[in-house]
């Protein structure tokens, strides 16, 4: 879809959206009002996630499927490598951005809110962080500023491009899973710079910031910015990422085949009350300050026994429902998803030529 066609079809629409729950207006982050973020439910779509290799476009079928199932949220974790280069942070490939235009338009067509996330931003990614020419968080002051300037530039490009699209249809998620850090000072400075850059181009854009410590810890130093904050649903890692080789060994509670509830090697038991204590309660304190909370990523790797995964997921989903939070599973198709997940202990149902985990889908729809 060409840029001019995209803007004709949806870019200058009004600030109202119909979602099956009635007409709603979402306050912009820079509007002077507290931000509004409904309990959107959906999935992460990964077409621009890797950043290298053959060009991949977002699939219209994914939006059609989500709408058919009753979901209303698509988080798009993207690497800037797809439209730019680590060798030249200021080069932008217009054709790749048109792929993203198309996804935003799919959201309009199927009444699905699109959340654009920089999974890899100049200077940082939770995966392969060392591949960046300078580090956004831990480097010389000069290099950190170079990375931040480039990150601001990229977000300003996006803010200009999508200005006029209502917040009911589109939001920005600044940086996926910032690193663990002793205090939030540097992250707060980065967020403030990115938000300032976006608002110079589009003052009312709805903006999401992931929690610090890989999305697990709320950030109180940005409460005044009027942002949504995004948390995670991956704990305990021994359930959600059993045998995952990309996870540091010290993140696991045990290497035994997981159960739910889970007993770690240190004797500590993980169950629903512990999930509430660790994953809900700290964020409720943030909500009390008027900050909406959303679970930007969660899910269970396909090596965890299916019934264990479903039991753990049920507890998480019920906690989020009680809290009034929406969530986006990682992913729709693939090892964490409900389609083509390659689990060995699931009897799949054929669905549009895909292998559907019907039990998991029905659990998601229940909450």
Taking residues 198-219, report their average pLDDT. Answer: 98
Residue pLDDT, tens place only, 47-81: 999 887 889 999 999 999 999 999 999 999 999 99
Provide the percentage of residues in the chain whose pLDDT is more than 90. Answer: 89
User: Does the pLDDT value for residue 226 go beyond 50?
Assistant: yes
Taking residues 330-347, report their average pLDDT. Answer: 97
Confidence of residue 19 (pLDDT cuts 50, 70, 90): very low
Taking residues 31-49, report their average pLDDT. Answer: 90
Predicted local distance difference test score (pLDDT) of residue 216: 97
Tokens of 207: 């903006």
Provide the percentage of residues in the chain whose pLDDT is more than 70. Answer: 91
User: Does the pLDDT value for residue 3 go beyond 60?
Assistant: no
Question: For 124, phi and psi rounded to 5 degrees?
Answer: -165, 140
Tokens of 48: 């621009």
Handedness of CA 285, 288, 293, 299 (dihedral sign): positive
Taking residues 178-197, report their average pLDDT. Answer: 97
Q: Report domain extents, the chain.
A: 3-366
Predicted local distance difference test score (pLDDT) of residue 17: 34
Q: Is the peptide bond before 212 cis (omega within 30 degrees of 0)?
A: no
Predicted local distance difference test score (pLDDT) of residue 5: 53
Tokens of 144: 């950190």
Indicate the fold that domain 3-366 takes in CATH. Answer: TIM Barrel (3.20.20)
Predicted local distance difference test score (pLDDT) of residue 65: 98
Strand pairing report for 327-329 and 41-44? parallel
In the chain, where does DSSP find H-type helix? 3-6, 60-69, 94-110, 141-162, 185-201, 212-215, 237-240, 272-275, 281-287, 306-323, 358-366
* Whole-number Cα distances in Å, 93 to 98, 100, 156, 294: 9, 12, 15, 31
Predicted local distance difference test score (pLDDT) of residue 27: 58
User: Does the pLDDT value for residue 108 go beyond 90?
Assistant: yes
Confidence of residue 34 (pLDDT cuts 50, 70, 90): confident
Taking residues 221-248, report their average pLDDT. Answer: 97
Residue 259: name the closest of 298, 310, 334 by CA: 310
User: Does the pLDDT value for residue 11 go beyond 60?
Assistant: no
Q: Quickly list DSSP for 6-51.
A: HIIIIIT--S-EE-SS-EE-PPPTTSSSPP-----EEEE--TTTS-
- Mean pLDDT over the full length of the chain: 92
Confidence of residue 32 (pLDDT cuts 50, 70, 90): low
Predicted local distance difference test score (pLDDT) of residue 10: 47
Taking residues 97-123, report their average pLDDT. Answer: 98
């Amino acid at each position: 879809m060409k840029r001019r066609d995209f803007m004709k079809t949806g870019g200058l629409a009004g600030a109202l959206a119909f979602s099956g729950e009635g007409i709603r207006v979402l306050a912009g982050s820079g509007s002077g009002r507290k931000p509004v973020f409904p309990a959107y439910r959906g999935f992460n779509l990964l077409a621009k996630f890797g950043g290298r290799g053959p060009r991949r476009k977002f699939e219209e079928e994914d939006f059609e499927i989500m709408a058919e199932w009753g979901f209303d949220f698509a988080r798009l974790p993207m690497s800037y490598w797809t439209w730019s280069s680590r060798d030249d942070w200021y080069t932008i490939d217009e054709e790749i951005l048109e792929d993203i235009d198309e996804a935003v338009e799919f959201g309009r067509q199927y009444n699905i809110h699109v959340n654009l996330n920089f999974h890899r931003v100049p200077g940082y990614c939770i995966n392969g962080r060392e591949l960046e020419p300078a580090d956004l968080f831990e480097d010389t002051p000069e290099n950190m500023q170079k990375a931040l300037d480039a990150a601001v530039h990229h977000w300003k490009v996006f803010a200009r491009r999508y200005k006029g699209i209502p917040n009911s249809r589109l939001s920005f998620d600044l940086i996926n899973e910032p690193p663990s850090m002793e205090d939030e000072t540097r992250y707060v400075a980065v967020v403030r710079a990115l938000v300032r850059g976006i608002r110079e181009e589009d003052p009312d854009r709805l903006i999401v910031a992931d929690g610090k410590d890989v999305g697990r810890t709320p950030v109180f130093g940005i409460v005044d910015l009027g942002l949504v904050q995004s948390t995670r649903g991956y704990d305990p890692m021994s359930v959600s990422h059993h045998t995952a080789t990309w996870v540091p060994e010290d993140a696991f509670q045990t290497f035994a085949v997981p159960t739910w509830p889970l007993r770690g090697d240190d004797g500590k038991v993980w169950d629903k009350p512990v999930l509430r204590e660790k994953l809900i309660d700290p964020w409720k304190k943030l909500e009390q300050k008027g900050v909406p909370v959303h679970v930007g990523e969660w899910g269970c790797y396909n090596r965890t026994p299916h019934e264990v995964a479903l039991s753990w997921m049920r507890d998480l989903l019920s906690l989020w429902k009680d809290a009034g939070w929406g969530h986006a599973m990682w992913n729709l198709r693939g090892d964490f998803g409900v389609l083509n997940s390659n689990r060995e202990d699931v009897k799949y149902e054929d669905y549009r030529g895909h292998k559907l985990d019907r039990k998991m889908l029905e659990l998601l729809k229940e909450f």
